[in-house]
Structure 1
């Protein structure tokens, strides 16, 4: 079935009068004068491990019926990736469509997102879309962004103390309402910068409010409210749930769904994921109610793998800091912060009823860079030259193969490259690992000795790519202790001289 026909059918079923739609150069779709552009929704969860959708068939305790339906009506990717195993840089790659290392956002502490970088909201807003952001942003200045803090609060004292002295007006240019989002409900737990509230009030300027109750439910409420306001015009909604990231908290409604003997952190994560699932169900219901379900492209992705902290200790929930969040990466090796599969391979679903045939499970490697490229194409925009991703719609709607490409990652003292089934993984002070992911997604069999020519090819590709980046230093310098112990634990890499088990930072979590 031709893609143009699929899109026309989807638009007509949504009740839109369509004059014409044809592919343009670069793969975008040019609408006729009466055409309504498709809506675009991106749902991004937080520290949500690869295993934790029931449609994955990996963990029996997780329950996500709405997301299972979502996957059944769309595509589930088994090899979906993010650009970084950490919140900030992962979001920077998603929303710019570029490898974030190209503009120096290598890891948390190297932000905020530079003001000269266009966001997907900037691009879609200029194309006539109403743009909305709900939930976590994490591209504003944060308390370990040393360069920003030293510029705006020089002097003595800790970074955090000086960060807390900076006037809020200095932060506002970096908030989502200044980065292309016309409507915001931007916040994490209970404090939000909003252009509307849940009772239905609208504000001409962003206003700070407080909310009560389950934070996930409030973020779902805000997403549904945005659709209520803008269902009659093309919209882009970026819903970034602050879950199941710590601090772990949920309401009785969701906790009661998971009785029985299990760790309390696991129970809490399952409850929070269930709340997300309810929210996705509410969004799909609202789209159906307004008759725009078949005119809406939706992505559902996590920002990185779950933080296991080596051994998934079930420490007290009263500890609100960085600990295991109860989510799992089964069967992948590694976790948040690592460039092994457990850190960067995530739940990745796409749905567009009437255009993308449902029930597909694809093992083609895709990455969050593709979200911006696909969104711009369906909005009728030419693909910007600086984008690093690909438009997925020809593959999703017509079954065409993606162009052959190489995917890259660089984080702390790690670098990884995937081309086809082969993946190269390097970490400071150790020779490269080579894995064939088609038969070993768990990364248990190092094939570097058997295929030196593949190692050489992938290493060369990594070197060429690295030279394109703002910071292209080799893998030298300070290697965080957690990184050393990750690779000792998961890959049996010996501890370097001067490092012993007494220095393991994971042993003191929650104490």
Structure 2
């Protein structure tokens, strides 16, 4: 044993040299159903109070054309954590499959680079009772059922898909008071198991993040904080509700309170990084998983209503909502903060997408360029090394909708209806330019179809529009 020890030390030393000695810590914050308007720094509404997020943007880069890969939670998270268009592996939308075990997640790549990894909050990438394609293939004994229930999915079938088996060393995965955890908020390490943790769900998720930082700030770390907010059911404590007047729609007040809780959490995380001496070399991404679900009318249903409803968030100034490939569904709050690595005070208008997080992380970890990733390392664009657009094109496909953005222009097809917009103008998706620029539309349509042909389930011709037709009739009636 003694003769092998120096060799082990040498190998570890050489590994640290190959990856670089000064690699940043990374915190990826992903909110749930938060619209573009609901960060004060975006300057769209006056009632939001997010001083810590605003400071994060002021001292970093506010990406005003920041997108996600889908207007729905499961595919959006799958794209984020793999760094690949989720249609490449058949996870086009909710109700199909869990995140395939064959896909490599950011956390797994970071582990190989010597990072300690952790997560808390919403996961939603394991099999559930709505994973219809997966159930048919993996649980044939249920094929006689017309409707599946949560209890139909054996937990042992879920375990391989849980965060603790997808590259995360430390997990505190959960929504409310039940958490699949490998550590406690007291700092104890435990075998992966379900634990009960009382407290307000957002404060718990913040505390889990803070505990991880305190325990692991002596080495490079990657942490995924997946806040379950402002997604319904809307919940907020008196502490946060008291910050907002009662003479407003109740659902809006609860959303503002939940965003205030997230904002407090960001402040607490920043303070912890400061105390541990790692604030300057920690990069923080703050992104929403999709736009807000307005339900067209933004009906102010009682908080006691626990079903799908407006969550109180706003997509101003963009058109549309969650479930749509219009800007309101996919253009989201997107902030990058890295005191040591990028200049502060940036407002970056060129199109970027959540796929870029994985590519940026692996580059910062010293892993170079990974060809299978669809994103790009954003740091050279934010520190002035590169001046061109990060992407020639960004693509989407969801239900009966397809879209591509190239430069300032966006081609959108919903069913048989086609649109062309200059989304950099004040008119954005309120003015269809397809009659004025038919050749541009033709070029973008071909680019979109070429991309579609690369996917696991190519759609040719493009899919039929379904339930989203009501949205398009409302938002694009002119």
* TM-score, L = length of structure 2: 0.94
- For 1:452, the equivalent position in structure 2 comes to 438
C-alpha distance in structure 2 between counterparts of 1:65 and 1:477, whole Å = 43
C-alpha distance in structure 1 between counterparts of 2:426 and 2:88, whole Å = 30
What's the CA shift for 1:445? 0.5
What's the CA shift for 1:149? 1.8
Q: Deviations 1:269-293 (Å, cap 9, x if unpaired)?
A: 0000000000011111011111101
**1:66-77 equivalence runs, <5 A:** 66-77=52-63
Residues 171, 34 of structure 1: alpha-carbon distance in 2 compared, 3 angstrom cutoff: closer
Q: Which of 189, 195, 202 is 2:189 aligned to?
A: 202
C-alpha distance in structure 1 between counterparts of 2:474 and 2:201, whole Å = 34
- For 1:231, the equivalent position in structure 2 comes to 217
Q: Deviations 1:310-365 (Å, cap 9, x if unpaired)?
A: 01000111111111000000010000000000000000000100221111111011
Q: Which of 162, 168, 176 is 1:189 aligned to?
A: 176
- For 2:413, the equivalent position in structure 1 comes to 426
C-alpha distance in structure 2 between counterparts of 1:474 and 1:84, whole Å = 20
C-alpha distance in structure 2 between counterparts of 1:125 and 1:36, whole Å = 16
Q: Which range moves more in the overlay, 143-152 or 124-133? A: 143-152
Q: Is the counterpart of residue 362 in structure 1 residue 348 in structure 2?
A: yes
Query: Secondary structure in 1 aligned to 2:223?
Result: strand
Query: Secondary structure in 2 aligned to 1:243?
Result: strand
Q: Is the counterpart of residue 488 in structure 1 residue 473 in structure 2?
A: yes
Contact 1:427 1:475 in 2 (8 A): no
Gaps of 5+ in 1: 1-29, 494-511
Q: Deviations 1:129-161 (Å, cap 9, x if unpaired)?
A: 000011001111122110222222423234333
Q: Deviations 1:223-265 (Å, cap 9, x if unpaired)?
A: 0011011010110000000000000001000000001410000
Query: Secondary structure in 1 aligned to 2:340?
Result: coil
Q: Which of 293, 296, 299 is 2:279 aligned to?
A: 293
Q: Is the counterpart of residue 156 in structure 1 residue 144 in structure 2?
A: yes
C-alpha distance in structure 2 between counterparts of 1:458 and 1:215, whole Å = 43
- For 2:199, the equivalent position in structure 1 comes to 213
Q: Deviations 1:396-426 (Å, cap 9, x if unpaired)?
A: 1235224451000000000000000110000
Q: Deviations 1:84-110 (Å, cap 9, x if unpaired)?
A: 000000001111110000110000012
Query: Secondary structure in 2 aligned to 1:370?
Result: helix
Gaps of 5+ in 2: 1-15
Contact 1:51 1:330 in 2 (8 A): yes
C-alpha distance in structure 1 between counterparts of 2:170 and 2:104, whole Å = 17
- For 1:410, the equivalent position in structure 2 comes to 397
- For 2:421, the equivalent position in structure 1 comes to 435
What's the CA shift for 1:197? 1.2
What's the CA shift for 1:191? 1.0
What's the CA shift for 1:394? 0.5
Query: Secondary structure in 2 aligned to 1:76?
Result: strand
Contact 1:331 1:442 in 2 (8 A): no
Contact 1:428 1:475 in 2 (8 A): no
Contact 1:43 1:298 in 2 (8 A): yes
Contact 2:416 2:464 in 1 (8 A): no
Query: Secondary structure in 1 aligned to 2:328?
Result: helix
C-alpha distance in structure 2 between counterparts of 1:492 and 1:337, whole Å = 17
Contact 2:20 2:366 in 1 (8 A): no
Q: Deviations 1:199-223 (Å, cap 9, x if unpaired)?
A: 23210x2010122221000000000
- For 1:19, the equivalent position in structure 2 comes to none
C-alpha distance in structure 2 between counterparts of 1:303 and 1:475, whole Å = 28
What's the CA shift for 1:475? 5.4
- For 2:99, the equivalent position in structure 1 comes to 113
Q: Deviations 1:414-463 (Å, cap 9, x if unpaired)?
A: 00000001100001132x10001121464000000000000000000011
Residues 48, 73 of structure 1: alpha-carbon distance in 2 compared, 3 angstrom cutoff: same
Aligned residues: 461
Residues 476, 384 of structure 1: alpha-carbon distance in 2 compared, 3 angstrom cutoff: closer
